[in-house]
Amino acid sequence: MTAETAHWWCTAPGVAERRLETLPEPGPGELRVRVAYTAISPGSNLHVWRTGGYGPGGASVPEDLVYMGSGIVERTGPGVSSVAAGDRVVIRGVGHQAAIVVPEARVVRVPDGLRLRDAALSYLPSWAVSALHLGRYAAAETIVVTGLGLVGCSAALVAERMGARVLGLDVDPVRVAFAETLGLGAVAQVGTPEGAAAEAAFLAPGGGPDLVLETTGAYAGLGEAIRVARDWTRIALMGIHRRAPSEAEAAALHRALTTYPAKLHYGRLSFIGVGSDPEEHPVPGPSRATPRTNLAWVLEQAARGMLPIGRLVTEVLPPDAIGSALDRMAGGETRLVGVVFDWATGEE
């Protein structure tokens, strides 16, 4: 039996269009999910909204605004064993749509005690787990998170849950005020006397961070990561720099890194790309962490009340507000951190 679903697409830069699509019966290893909530990706969704495409060249519309969601399993195909009809799940790689047929590997069951609304934002915390793995985090290290949007706040919460001392930095007072509501160890606004004093006091015991999670994707944010680094600091690049630096930005980075005494060389800094843990590992191997296991850990911790990812939700909207929400974010409305869309299933 086929089903029909509403699906919002980006059909031109800054244009969202609702289309009705037919979903097939799930095949072997597949399942059909009735979507309860979808979330905005502050990186990829916003980039597509501005440019019309995922690549650096811009428009390749229509484009699916793919990210993360949660819902209820409706039907399963042959061979599906990890979930059953009626189970609550999160879905990796779902567009803004009312239902979807996906491979079993793209869903993880949501534990009892965690709302589907909150679970819809679980991807970025799970990516933060990967970033800490790949950034070679060790227990009780001092971490600075540059940028306190959804990526940065997710990373800060996960780092604290893993036992780190965490300082969050941002230039925006609205984002700083929001981060303060999360109960982090320390938050400071860059460029203010109060922020400078808070930063200095927090970093004084070790002289600086062991690890910086740079989440902004802006060259100014990268400059802040370099500024706070001490000797041997590792800088994990979570933010994606989607454009080339301006002449002034490139000159500033050059001065910070390579002019005498060169902080990069004399400070022995390490820059680490932290896209995600591999989907699979060779056996035997030193690690078994994958995006799927990281996501399961985040959901478990959140369900136990140990990781307050629900606090990241700043606005819940109907699906027809997708375009206006992306416009607000593109226009610089920084109070929008975690935005989810309620597909009116009645499930929380």
Tens-digit pLDDT string for the chain (348 aa): 567 899 999 999 999 999 999 999 999 999 999 999 999 999 899 999 999 998 877 677 799 999 999 999 999 999 999 999 999 999 999 999 999 999 999 999 999 999 999 999 999 999 999 999 999 999 999 999 999 999 999 999 999 999 999 999 999 999 999 999 999 999 999 999 999 999 999 999 999 999 999 999 999 999 999 999 999 999 999 999 988 999 999 999 999 999 988 899 999 999 999 999 999 888 777 788 999 999 999 999 999 999 999 999 999 999 999 999 999 999 999 999 999 999 988 888
Cβ contact 139:94 at 8 Å:
no
State residue 1's pLDDT score.
59
State residue 322's pLDDT score.
97
The DSSP secondary-structure symbol of 210 reads S
Angle in degrees, CA 67, 121, 234, rounded to 5: 90
Per-residue HEC secondary structure of 100-116 comes to EEEEHHHEEECCCCCCH
CA distance 121 to 41: 9
CATH T-level topology, domain 3-122+292-342 = Quinone Oxidoreductase; Chain A, domain 1 (3.90.180)
State residue 286's pLDDT score.
77
Amino acid letter, residue 179: A
Cβ contact 288:313 at 8 Å:
no
Task: Please list, in sequence order, all residues whose beta carbon lies within 8 angstroms of the beta carbon of residue 103, skipping any fewer than 6 positions away.
Answer: 29, 30
The DSSP-derived string for 113-179 is TS-HHHHTT-HHHHHHHHHHHHTT--TT-EEEEE--SHHHHHHHHHHHHTT-EEEEEES-HHHHHHH
Q: Where are the domains of the chain?
A: 3-122+292-342, 136-273
State residue 282's pLDDT score.
81
3-122+292-342 and 136-273: same fold? Answer: no
Tokens representing 214 are 């740079």
State residue 2's pLDDT score.
65
Cβ contact 183:306 at 8 Å:
no
3-class DSSP assignment, residue 180: helix
Please report, for residues 203, 210, 225, 228, the alpha-carbon distance to residue 143 in angstroms, rounded to integers and kept in the order given: 9, 6, 11, 11
Element housing 273 (H / E): strand 270-273
Question: In whole angstroms, what separates CA 113 from the centre of its chain?
Answer: 22
State residue 58's pLDDT score.
66
CATH of domain 136-273: 3.40.50.720
φ and ψ at residue 5, rounded to 5 degrees: -135, 145
